[in-house]
Amino acid sequence: MSSVLRFRKLCFLEPTKYSSYDEKTKDQKNYENVNTVLLENNPKKKHQKKPPKEWRCIDSCCWMVGYLCTTWWLLLFLYHCLPANLPGLQVPEPPGARLSRQGLTALHPVVMVPGIVTGGLELWEGRACSEGLFRQRLWGGSFTEIFKRPMCWLEHLSLDNETGLDPPGIRVRAVPGLVAADYFAPGYFVWAILIENLARIGYEGKNMYMAAYDWRLSFQNTEVRDQALSRLKSKIELMYVTNGYTKVVVVPHSMGVIYFLHFMKWVEAPPPMGGGGGPGWCAKHIKSIMNIGPAFLGVPKAVGNVLSAECKDVAFIRLLNTSCVYLEHGTLSFPCYLKEETPFGVTWIGLEGDHVCDSAMKKYQQQFDMKGNNTDGRRGFQVQESTKYGRIVSFGKAASELHSSEISGLGSQVYLHNATSPQSLASCGKVWTEYDEVSPESIRRISEKKAYTANTLLELIRSIAPKMMRRAEAHFSHGIADNLDDPIYNHYKYWSNPLETKLPDAPDMEIYSLYGVGIPTERSYVYKVSSSFRCKNIPLQIDSSADGRNGCLKGGVYFVDGDESVREYKHKAPANLLEGRGLQSGAHVDIMGNIALIEDVLRVAAGASGVELGGDRIYSDIMKMSEKINVRL
């Protein structure tokens, strides 16, 4: 220690030479008094020559840093000393512990199907720039690689534009196992809470399975490339056998709901296209499906994403936004580039079609308006004027509010890719999106149409991003079936659309819809045409100046039959910051930590049926809204 101090002093000899004090001696005395202890070792003569107290810039910096570090460590130390449960900050008992005391034990094996973006992806083979990342997570985890090598990261996460599979030389695969989606990023749980509570009533690795899949691929391609569906089938069969022939409870979340819908059709379909499990497979192996935050009919948000890559997705907003800011040039082009390459966005595009969504919402809205002014309050936002939710994308606020007859509806299908401007193509190099093939002219015309409903929207996207949609249409269908016996519906592209498939023949199976209500949710957008047509810009942007984005409930649950239990969870913001992300949250991902939801899942896994849970629990007007939709059953 002393040697270090002496070293410091030697450093200080330097400035003294240049200082020009007259009161050297005086100063010296002072210094001596203060620092006698420190200076003992040094010969006295040395002291006499220098008035030592000069704070140089570097010293100040060092001092500053040291000070901060010290404080930081001290706080850290105190934090660690803190008992886990501060008195007064009583953490409510986790439902798992309570139910375990009530005597619930693990009965049915549980299969979890994660949704979009929440599953981790890791690198198995990459280009030169990804050296050292072998079997590291590219997606999920800490996302440090985005900052270190953003272009490389994007290149590896993108899929091939033509095939929708791996680009040559790159293999990015889903992380398997429970770790795939327990935490999305450190501290940001997805399934972890549910897993922990299940473990308390006796679940462990052998009766829980995370059906991780590469969420960038279209559903059928996960089977083609990774055999993910076969794997899931085999795992369910295995768990069914090793757990004493008890059926499986499936808990899909978000897009996993559609994925599992696809799986159920796949597994019963005959071998070349399907899994060949035979028509009774689901009835034999599945006890119930507990859909969390299902997006059966798609979400309008997907449209916003595909159209202009404005990251509003649940997880996206938390992480990608930071990277958006980071990548100063062409902020939004990057995510857009990525997204264009991956067909996942397309799954979500309003599966509804005009028919369901447009008319129903309109009617609902009118009725809501009539009563709304007096009785509302519960939903937390007031709608002043009749909002046309059916118009998912409208250009300009005015258009979104006009009566339909006043909007000049140019048929967007006539737009052709006339005159691809060569200049933009040449200059855009890396960030090529299909927008560059669309001339400014047609963009202007697109915006002239003013308003798009769910049906015309498909055409809009088709005209803007023809390649993506062509790829997507091979895998997904967005319509509504008139006659389900039509043999065309045997094709796998219909399997994930609940309006074009039949549920499997499994009368004992139960389907639950567990979702949160009470948060404003994007339902339609007001767009504007951005002024600049430079290549780095995406020409359409959400018009943030327009105040017309009143949320609406995600039309989550509409199903063919009445045999489905609907369980809603009211959103309640966390009472205080310390509580973390809320024990009663209803947000799309945070709902996985909702106590009531966990309890429901646990009870079903331990053997309860929907009736024992108490049937439907509904806070929103979903039943009423469903009534309004005219679909032939």
Q: What is the C-alpha separation between 2 and 41, in angstroms, rounded? A: 9
Q: What is the C-alpha separation between 249 and 286, in angstroms, rounded? A: 6
Q: Which residue from 176, 293, 343, 390 is in contact with other proteins, where contact means CB under 8 A?
A: 176
Q: What is the C-alpha separation between 486 and 378, in angstroms, rounded? A: 44
Establish if 231 lies at the interface with other proteins (CB under 8 A). Answer: yes
Using CB under 8 A as the binding criterion, the count of chain residues that bind other proteins stands at 61
Q: What is the C-alpha separation between 352 and 298, in angstroms, rounded? A: 7
The 242-281 site mask, x for binding other proteins (CB under 8 A), equals: x---------------------------------------
Q: What is the DSSP string of 528-579?
A: EE-S---TTS-SEEE-TT--------------SSS-EEEEEEE----SSGGG
The residues assigned a catalytic role are 254, 563, 588
Establish if 67 lies at the interface with other proteins (CB under 8 A). Answer: yes
Q: Which residue from 10, 74, 573, 575 is in contact with other proteins, where contact means CB under 8 A?
A: 74
**Contact (CB, 8 A) for 206 and 242:** yes
Establish if 381 lies at the interface with other proteins (CB under 8 A). Answer: no
Establish if 227 lies at the interface with other proteins (CB under 8 A). Answer: yes
Angle between helices 300-308 and 454-464 (to 10 degrees): 20
Establish if 14 lies at the interface with other proteins (CB under 8 A). Answer: no
Establish if 177 lies at the interface with other proteins (CB under 8 A). Answer: yes
Q: How far is the CB of 574 from other proteins (least distance, A)?
A: 21
Q: Which residue from 46, 49, 56, 206 is in contact with other proteins, where contact means CB under 8 A?
A: 206
Q: In what order do the strands lie in the sheet with 208-210?
A: 208-210, 110-113, 248-252, 286-292, 510-517, 564-570
Nearest to 560 by CA among 514, 612, 608, 504: 504
Q: What is the C-alpha separation between 603 and 108, in angstroms, rounded? A: 10
Q: Which residue from 10, 61, 416, 488 is in contact with other proteins, where contact means CB under 8 A?
A: 61
Q: How many CB atoms lie within 10 A of CB 293?
A: 28
Of residues 275 and 516, the one with the C-beta less far from other proteins: 275
Q: Which residue from 64, 151, 484, 575 is in contact with other proteins, where contact means CB under 8 A?
A: 64
Q: Which residue from 88, 103, 131, 377 is in contact with other proteins, where contact means CB under 8 A?
A: 131
Q: How far is the CB of 125 from other proteins (least distance, A)?
A: 6
Q: How far is the CB of 100 from other proteins (least distance, A)?
A: 10
**Contact (CB, 8 A) for 422 and 436:** no
Q: What is the C-alpha separation between 476 and 220, in angstroms, rounded? A: 9
Of residues 69 and 370, the one with the C-beta less far from other proteins: 69
Q: Which residue from 15, 47, 59, 398 is in contact with other proteins, where contact means CB under 8 A?
A: 59
**Contact (CB, 8 A) for 450 and 397:** no
Establish if 25 lies at the interface with other proteins (CB under 8 A). Answer: no
Of residues 59 and 459, the one with the C-beta less far from other proteins: 59
Q: What is the C-alpha separation between 598 and 580, in angstroms, rounded? A: 17
Q: How far is the CB of 153 from other proteins (least distance, A)?
A: 16
Establish if 204 lies at the interface with other proteins (CB under 8 A). Answer: yes
Q: How far is the CB of 580 from other proteins (least distance, A)?
A: 15
Q: Which residue from 14, 73, 423, 573 is in contact with other proteins, where contact means CB under 8 A?
A: 73
Q: Which residues pair with 252 in a beta bridge?
A: 113
Q: What is the C-alpha separation between 608 and 512, in angstroms, rounded? A: 13
Applying CB under 8 A, which residues contact other proteins? 4-5, 8, 23, 26-27, 29-31, 33-35, 38, 53-55, 59, 61-67, 69-70, 73-74, 77, 80, 84, 124-125, 131-132, 134-135, 171, 173-174, 176-179, 182, 195-196, 199-200, 204-206, 226-227, 230-231, 234, 237-238, 241-242
